[in-house]
A and B are shown apart, each in its own frame.
Chain A
Amino acid sequence: MAAILKVIASIVTGILVYTFFFGVLIDKPLSVGIFDRVYSAKRAYGDAIKAPKIVVAGGSGPFFSVRCETIEKETGIPCVNISIAVALGRETILEQVKQVAKPGDTVLLPWEFRMYFLDADEMRARISFPYIIRHEKQLAPALGADHFLEALFYFDLKYLFNALAETSRYMGGHRHSFDKEGRLTPQGDYQGHTANAGEKFRDKIDDFHSSAEEMPKIAALETPPSRLMAFFKWAEARNIRVLGTLPSSFDTTAPDQKAIGKIQSWYATSDTAEFFVLDNLNQYSKGCFFDSREHLNEECQTIHSKKIAAALSSHLSH
């Protein structure tokens, strides 16, 4: 029996070693750790400003396309942009909002279309699992038992080899573009992505179709994203206003009105939530886009943010 107990002890020790190794020691500073550094900077700004404030949250679309710096100037209300990447998933993005938003605040969700219809597994299959286990362990309980185990045992040898390579590059001075000095405004917006700098992506942009083509998938959803609905309740209980809007997209495909109606109906279930669409349907010509079909360049980011600021002022005044 003692021999078998030793095997069990060895297995338990092994699990602890694995957890310590990947949960504390090993990191991918360029593709996972980057989110922690950017989130930390954004949260620090959000914590430093007093309520009422505006919190912008989504994937990289609003990170590049919405500028809190401009909204702050236009509305006179402090604003923090905690958007980073869609791949982190709805749950992680909303958990970040919960850490920053306080009673009296307004949360703006200009979500990319796929954030509504990608299921949790599709989004978690990327980087939110290692991000949570390595950098935001306090979010782990929100994953539930099944997903917690999936997150804990996400790390394989391939991850380790790539982590070692990334660490070596990071120590050699290589930085993710989000991490370079001057890339972020104090409010957490991406900056420096000028139309001129985006010229090298012009051919790529020309080849893309509008992300609005994804909207029928939203219209086809039978049930709303449960985490979004739970978030509305969470916000309502804390007197936090939630405003949604469309993401910026190419004007080559008109937005699907059924999808808009569906999203609006989800928002309408909450007394403190509302979904609005700008007069240009949040659409711009391809020339306004930087390096992807969801990232406006800096010039259009400012124009778009002024429009959003005007809409926010109108909604917040009543």
Chain B
Amino acid sequence: MLFSSVPFLVYFLPVTLIGALTLRRWWNVEACKLWLLGASAVFYGYWDWPYLTLLFGSIAVNFFIGRKLDLLEDGHPQRRMMFITGIAFNLGLLFVFKYFDFFINNIEFMFGFDINVFKIVLPLGISFFTFQQIAFLADSNKRKHILNYSFIDYAVFISFFPQLIAGPIVHHNDFVPQLKEKRFARPTGEMFAAGLTIIIIGLFKKSVLADGLSPTVDLMFGEAAAGATLTLLEAWLATLAFAGQIYFDFSGYSDIAVGLGLLFGLKMPENFAAPYRSTSIIDFWRRWHITLSTFLRDYLYIPLGGNRHGRARRYINLMATMLLGGLWHGAAWTFVVWGGLHGAYLAVNHLFNSVAMRMRGAERFFASRVTKLAGWALTFWAVGLAWIFFRAESFDAAMNIAAGYLGFNGVYAPPQLLAMFGMVQESFDFAAPGTSLFADKAMWNELLASTGYVLLGLAVALSQTALRGSQRGRLIIVALVVGLVIQAVFFGKASEEFIYFQF
């Protein structure tokens, strides 16, 4: 069930919300938790109910292992075995359901034979709820729990529908204690109002902006995959459109999740902080998919040694973390390249900082506006280049678009565009158009709309501040966008699935 769909907004959410608030107020908190557990099961099972056994089976196994780790004394011989078993169970699930096909395909490619195995459908949200449970086991192993959790509390934490499918990757210590608080399912008017406004803004990002950018992205990346050579402007339009689509799609989803949490009196962590305003790659990863970065830092980078064993080891750890982070997004080499690019960017950024900060006047240099602007431009360009690999349907298609993005495929501008600026075609075109969007005169309106969406998306992304802003500011935004949201959700074409559902 999509957050931006009519069944969710008109039926599921009101019934679930009224049920939870009523049970909490007029009966007891445990009944409310059971209600939420049931509602989350309906939400997940609506997509494919047989996978409910996977979800709740995984919850039960992890809870049992976590409880065992709590009960066993430090140094007990079974303790280490239990922990390893738990981690292996979770990684095994991920391997079977997410990477098995990828593994088989690579074996087939390397050895040139066909292996007939059944194709496995990727269960929604498995990457997210598995990571949450790995964090739970790791903390159980290190006795980092704030509270002892009941099974119901743990099951509500993992399956809570706003964050079940695509995060934010909520930490158990941030979530479970809230189930004991007074405000759980008894939000204040301010919380409820903030939740509503954040949901509407999230729907605007998803249904209006991300879904509006989607046809351009599909068309241009699709044509590149089919062999069209994208020229400079085409590649930039495709890249900017995807940069906007993935940001608004995922941050829209995260906004809706945060807003839904508030309706139930629960505070969820922020996942984005105006990432496209970053002035360095290090800054970007503090602002993009924050809960994943935090997880990777705490449960992968630091256990690998972090920056504690010298510079070279630090860069190796960074690269390993980002490569695995890339692979976490999807079972394809293009995601690995994306992760590798970001690992390389981060290593270069850290190296540059360590060298540059030793120079005289470095602080003043880094604080200057010109440096920040140059840093922003370079960061944006580098992030864009990496997005091409993230979205492309194949490595060849990615290389094709990347070549266009870097200017190696020449330049072409539609004649109508040149005419608007009083220019003639011959004075500008150094290549044949690569996509139908640029070549076909009948697509002029589509091209205008695509450009409009990209420019508006950029304006919105760059005008956002790192913090959410005041409720007053949000109310103004709601007044500006709610008509478009109603149009898109209730009267537009059916909303597209969130991109992060496939991860």
Which positions in A face B, CB cutoff 8 Å? 1-4, 6-7, 10-11, 13-15, 17-19, 21-22, 149-150, 153-158, 160-162, 164-165
Contact = CB atoms under 8 A, between A and B. Distances in A.
B487 A11 contact: no
A314 B194 CA distance: 72
B193 A7 contact: yes
A120 B448 CA distance: 29
Interface in B418-466: 445, 448-449, 451-453, 456
Interface in B190-210: 190, 192-194, 196-197, 200, 208-209
A103 B345 CA distance: 79
Interface string B181-196: 0000000011011101
Interface stretch (B137-145, B303-311, B478-486): B478-486
A165 B444 CA distance: 10
B479 A3 contact: no
Contacts of B449: 157-158, 161-162
A157 B452 contact: yes
B486 A15 contact: yes
A17 B475 contact: no
Nearest to A21: B483
B483 A7 contact: no
Interface of B: 189-190, 192-194, 196-197, 200, 208-209, 212, 445, 448-449, 451-453, 456, 471, 475-476, 478-484, 486-488, 490-492
Contact of A161 (B208, B453, B479, B484): B453
7 contacts: A6-B471, A11-B478, A14-B482, A19-B483, A156-B492, A157-B212, A158-B449
Contacts of A14: 478-483
A22 B487 CA distance: 12
B491 A18 contact: no
Given A2-B189, A153-B483, A153-B486, A162 B475 contact: no
Given A6-B193, A7-B197, A153 B480 contact: no
A242 B380 CA distance: 66
A13 B479 contact: yes
Given A4-B189, A4-B192, A149 B491 contact: yes
A151 B453 CA distance: 23
Nearest to A162: B445
Contacts of B194: 3
Nearest to B444: A165
B208 A15 contact: no
Contacts of A17: 479-480, 483
Contacts of B192: 3-4
A161 B448 contact: yes
Contacts of A165: 445, 448
Main secondary structure of the interface of B (DSSP, over half): helix
A35 to B, nearest CB: 18
A18 B483 contact: yes
Those 8 A-B pairs whose CB atoms lie nearest each other, nearest first: A18-B483, A161-B452, A14-B482, A3-B193, A14-B479, A153-B491, A158-B449, A10-B475
Nearest to B452: A161
Given A1-B189, A3-B189, A161-B448, A153 B487 contact: yes
Contacts of A13: 479
B367 to A, nearest CB: 38
Nearest to B448: A165
Contacts of A21: 483
B217 to A, nearest CB: 15
Given A156-B212, A158-B452, A161-B453, 6 more contacts: A7-B193, A10-B475, A10-B478, A21-B483, A157-B453, A160-B452
A74 B228 CA distance: 59
A20 to B, nearest CB: 10
Contact of A7 (B445, B478, B487, B488): B478
Given A149-B491, A157-B453, A162-B448, A10 B189 contact: no
B482 A18 contact: yes
Nearest to A156: B487
Given A1-B189, A157-B452, A158-B212, A15 B196 contact: no
Contacts of B486: 15, 18, 153
Contacts of A3: 189-190, 192-194, 471
Nearest to A1: B189
Nearest to B482: A14
B54 to A, nearest CB: 38
A153 B197 CA distance: 20
Contact of B196 (A4, A153, A160, A162): A4
Contacts of A19: 483
A10 B199 CA distance: 14
B475 A7 contact: yes
Contact of B487 (A154, A161, A164): A154
B484 A18 contact: yes
Given A4-B189, A153-B491, A156-B488, A10 B197 contact: yes
Nearest to A151: B491
A156 B208 contact: yes
A21 to B, nearest CB: 8
Nearest to B189: A3
A10 B479 contact: yes
Q: Which of B192, B449, B451, B492 has the most CB of A within 10 A?
A: B449
A160 B208 CA distance: 12
Contacts of B491: 149-150, 153-154
Contacts of B490: 153
A158 B453 CA distance: 8
B475 A6 contact: yes
Contact of B456 (A11, A153, A157): A157
Contacts of A4: 189, 192-193, 196
Q: Which of A2, A14, A158, A164 has the most CB of B within 10 A?
A: A14
B484 A11 contact: no
A21 B453 CA distance: 18
Q: Which of A2, A4, A158, A162 has the most CB of B within 10 A?
A: A158
Q: Which of A1, A149, A157 has the most CB of B within 10 A?
A: A157
A12 B192 CA distance: 18
Contacts of A154: 487, 491
A146 to B, nearest CB: 11
A158 B492 CA distance: 11
A235 B385 CA distance: 66
A99 to B, nearest CB: 28
A3 B471 CA distance: 9
Given A6-B475, A161-B448, A162-B448, A156 B480 contact: no
